[in-house]
Chain A
Amino acid sequence: KAGVTQTPRYLIKTRGQQVTLSCSPISGHRSVSWYQQTPGQGLQFLFEYFSETQRNKGNFPGRFSGRQFSNSRSEMNVSTLELGDSALYLCASSPEGPTNGYTFGSGTRLTVV
C-alpha cells in the first residue's frame, strides 16, 4: 500500500515568489490536512480538505491557500513568499478526519532566501 507522497522534497525560492506543493494521500483516504513545522512554532495547522471542500482552516494569512481534487490529491500554494515561510510543510491523510489519526508524508522542505 503506497504511503503519502509529497513533491517536491526540497525547494528553494526567492522572497516574493509563489510556490505550489503537492500531496497524494493514501488511496481511499478522503481527508487531507496540511501542517507547517518550524523549530520555533512547532507543528501548526494550515487547513483540512475533505471531498474537495475546505472543511477547516488554521490561523494563517490568505497568502496560504489549498485545494483538493476529485482523486483526493491536494495542493497548497503560498504566494508572495516571506523569509518566515521557510519551514517543513507536512501533508497528512486520514480516512475521514483527524480523529482517525494521520498518515504523514515526508514533507517538503521550503527555504525562502
Chain B
Amino acid sequence: AQSVTQLGSHVSVSEGALVLLRCNYSSSVPPYLFWYVQYPNQGLQLLLKYTTGATLVKGINGFEAEFKKSETSFHLTKPSAHMSDAAEYFCAVSKIDAGKSTFGDGTTLTVKP
C-alpha cells in the first residue's frame, strides 16, 4: 500500500522567506508524486509532478520539489514567499496499477507580512 506523510499541519513564514513543506512517501514501486494547492472554497490545483527523469521538478508560481529516493522524500520549496501563497498544500502519491492518488493530510501555509 502507498501512503504519504506531511510533516507539520501548519507552517508559518514571513513574506520573502523560504518556504519548505515536507512530504515523505512509502511505495513498494517507483511512485508518481504530486503537489497540489487548495485555496479556500476551491478545488485542488496541480503545482507540479514527478514521474521519471530529473529529480528536481519545477512547477507553477515559483515552486519546486526534489525527489530523493534514498530518503523517500518529495519536499516542496519556494525561495521567497508571497502573501498569495497562503493556502493548504497537499502531497500525493500514485502508481500505475493503483487507480487512484493517495493524499497526505495537508499543510496549511500562513504568510506573515
- In chain B, positions 23-49 with a C-beta closer than 8 Å to chain A are 32, 34, 36, 41-46, 49
In the assembled complex, the CB of A95 is this many whole angstroms from the nearest CB of chain B, namely 13
Given contacts A90-B43, A107-B43, contact A102 B101 (CB under 8 A): yes
> Counting CB contacts under 8 A, is B1 at the interface?
no
In the assembled complex, the CB of B92 is this many whole angstroms from the nearest CB of chain A, namely 8
Q: Which of A40-48, A66-74, A76-84 contacts B (4 or more CB under 8 A)?
A: A40-48
Given contacts A104-B45, A106-B42, A107-B43, contact A43 B94 (CB under 8 A): no
> In the complex, A56→B95 CA distance in Å?
13
Query: What residues of chain A lie closer than 8 Å to B103, measured between beta carbons?
Result: 42-43
> In the complex, A43→B100 CA distance in Å?
11
> Counting CB contacts under 8 A, is B54 at the interface?
no
Given contacts A42-B106, A99-B94, A101-B34, contact A56 B99 (CB under 8 A): yes
How many B residues face the partner with a CB closer than 8 A? 24
> In the complex, A84→B98 CA distance in Å?
26
- In chain A, positions 16-60 with a C-beta closer than 8 Å to chain B are 33, 42-43, 45, 48, 55-56, 58
> In the complex, A58→B49 CA distance in Å?
23
Query: What residues of chain A lie closer than 8 Å to B41, measured between beta carbons?
Result: 106
In the assembled complex, the CB of B21 is this many whole angstroms from the nearest CB of chain A, namely 16
> Counting CB contacts under 8 A, is B72 at the interface?
no
Query: What residues of chain A lie closer than 8 Å to B63, measured between beta carbons?
Result: none
Cβ–Cβ contact A102 & B106, under 8 A: no
In the assembled complex, the CB of A106 is this many whole angstroms from the nearest CB of chain B, namely 5
- 27 A-B pairs (CB sep. < 8 Å): A42-B104, A45-B102, A48-B99, A48-B100, A55-B99, A56-B98, A56-B99, A58-B100, A90-B43, A92-B44, A98-B94, A98-B98, A98-B100, A98-B101, A99-B32, A99-B51, A101-B46, A101-B49, A102-B44, A102-B46, A102-B101, A103-B46, A104-B44, A105-B43, A106-B41, A106-B42, A107-B43
Contacts A98-B32, A104-B44, A106-B42 known; 4 new A-B pairs at CB < 8 A = A4-B43, A48-B99, A90-B43, A101-B49
